[in-house]
Amino acid sequence: MRVLVIGGGYIGQNFAQYASSRCVNEDIAFAVDVVDARIGWKNTHFENYDAVLFAAGIAHRKQTRQNKHLYYEVNRDLAIAVAKKAKTAHVRQFVYLSSMSVYGKQQGEITAHTMPCPRDNDYYGHSKFQAEEALKKIAAENFKITVVRPPMVYGLNCPGKFSQLLRLSKFMPIVPDTQNKRSMIYIDNLSDFLYMIIKNEMSGIFCPQNKTYINTAHLIRKIRQKQGKKTATSLVLGAIVHAILPFCPPLKNAFGSLYYVHLPSFANQNIDYLCIADAEEEY
């Protein structure tokens, strides 16, 4: 099976390395090529591939009116253009890496009844959801569209919110005991999930996550422990943080609860993919 990855970012590169190494012991050969999202995909013959994974995207930067157009040009328009080229070339499957952000929630539980509704001024969430809607229209019996909405991804050298949390942990000898829970996914777990849905040519909407939720205070303690630092947990500080969460987006992102329900029937979570001890030690 030949897979073309569009975008050589963190997830695209890790998936390529993971899939190429895993298939050594599988009954099916996996060949993965990675091309850049600027020019590389235009110069590539898609006819040679069984699946295309669109892992390119604009993210992890401050959203402004000046860069608003980039989100739609890359996350939506480029994805549609690549998908149409893949369909014309008779590629059987197009996998779009979307985001939990399409739900527009900063706190709470996401269930099968939670409808996507990106927040106002969240160009990232809106561009991802608009791409999803457009891709559904070009799906066909011989051209499967697969949408993956992962929560926060973490792992060694991971960019984005997790890297911010790593930096923050260095200056937190006392952490608030908020007892929150967050859906997260370790990069190898996500890579294995992508491997499984491509190998089995599965279509639909998927929301993969680790088998257990992450508690922020616990995670910071584990990170600091690995750094050789001691950490105390404060119930009083936790109560203060809980009280001001609604008014402080950075604290809400760090210590609020945001999670997918753990139900096999929700967003195809019944796939048997790798979850290596939820990889708490890997960052």
Question: What does the domain layout of the chain look like in residue ranges?
Answer: 2-151+184-211+260-277
Dihedral (Cα; 9, 187, 108, 215), 10-degree rounding: -130
* Residue 233 in tokens: 């947990």
pLDDT digits (tens, 9 = 90+) for 12-60: 999 999 998 876 666 677 899 999 998 999 999 999 999 999 999 987 7
pLDDT digits (tens, 9 = 90+) for 108-132: 999 988 999 999 989 999 999 999 9
Question: What predicted TM-score, i.e. pTM, was given to this entire model?
Answer: 0.89
Q: Helix (H) and strand (E) counts for the chain?
A: 9, 12
Give 275's pLDDT tier (boundaries 50, 70, 90): low
Residue 166, pLDDT score: 78
Q: What share of the chain is helix, strand, coil (3-state, %, to 5)?
A: 40, 15, 40
Q: Which residues contact 149 (CB under 8 A, 6 or more apart)?
A: 98, 99, 100, 102, 205, 206, 207, 267
- Give CATH for domain 2-151+184-211+260-277: 3.40.50.720
Q: Is 70 exceeded by the pLDDT of residue 274?
A: no
Q: Is 80 exceeded by the pLDDT of residue 282?
A: no
Helix (H) or strand (E) holding 234: strand 232-234
Q: Which residues contact 67 (CB under 8 A, 6 or more apart)?
A: 58, 61, 123
Give 158's pLDDT tier (boundaries 50, 70, 90): confident
Helix ranges (H only) for the chain are: 10-22, 68-71, 79-88, 123-137, 161-169, 187-199, 216-226, 235-244, 249-255
Q: Which residues contact 3 (CB under 8 A, 6 or more apart)?
A: 19, 30, 31, 32, 33, 49, 50, 51, 52, 53, 198
Residue 277, pLDDT score: 47
Residue 278, pLDDT score: 54
